[in-house]
Amino acid sequence: MRGLPMLLATVLLAPQVVWAQDAVVTTLGRQVLARPDAPVVATTSNARAAYVLHCSGCHGIDGSGLPASYVPGLQRLGDFLRVPGGRDFVVKVPGVMNSGLDDAQVADVTNWLLATIARDSTPRGHQPYAAADVARVRAATLPDVMAERARLQALARQQGLTIH
C-alpha cells in the first residue's frame, strides 16, 4: 500500500518540477543553476549573519579556514593591513569578489572580522573600510591571487612580519 501513494505523488508532482523555469531536475530535486551575477536573496540583519551565510562555508564559523584546500584562516587577516597593498588585497580576493555581497556589506563584514575573529592581528588605529573603499578596489580584478599573496608575504618578511 505504501508504494501506491508514492507513485501517485510522483505522477502528480512531476509535471510541476519538469516545468520549473530556469531549473535543472536532478535526483535530489529542483536545482537552480548558479549565476555569477545572481543577487543575494537571503536577508541579514548584521555583519556576523552575512559572514555566516556568505563566508563561513569555506572559512568556517570560527574563521579557521581549510588550509589543505588553500582556504586561508582569517584569524591573522589584520596582518595584511601592515603591508602596502594588503588592505586592497583583503577585499579583492575571489571569495569576496564572488560573495554576492554589495560593497557596503563587504565593508561591514570585513570590519566585523577585523574587530572580532582577527582582532589580535588588526593594527591599532587602522581605518575601517567604507563602501566607497570597497567599490574602488573591486573595480579592477586580481589576475593572479596566489602571486599577489606571495608578493605581500615577501613584503611582510622584509618588515619582519609573517603573513599566512
pTM as predicted: 0.72
| CATH architecture assigned to 47-158 | Orthogonal Bundle (1.10)
Mean pLDDT of 119-130: 95
Integer Rg of the chain from CA: 21
Q: What is the mean pLDDT of the chain?
A: 81
The span from the CA of 83 to the CA of 160, in Å, is 11
* Residue whose C-alpha cell reads 596582518 in the numeric block: 79
The full set of domain ranges for the chain reads 3-32, 47-158
* Rounded-to-integer distance, Cα 144 and Cα 136, Å: 19
pLDDT tens digits along 104-115? 999 999 999 999
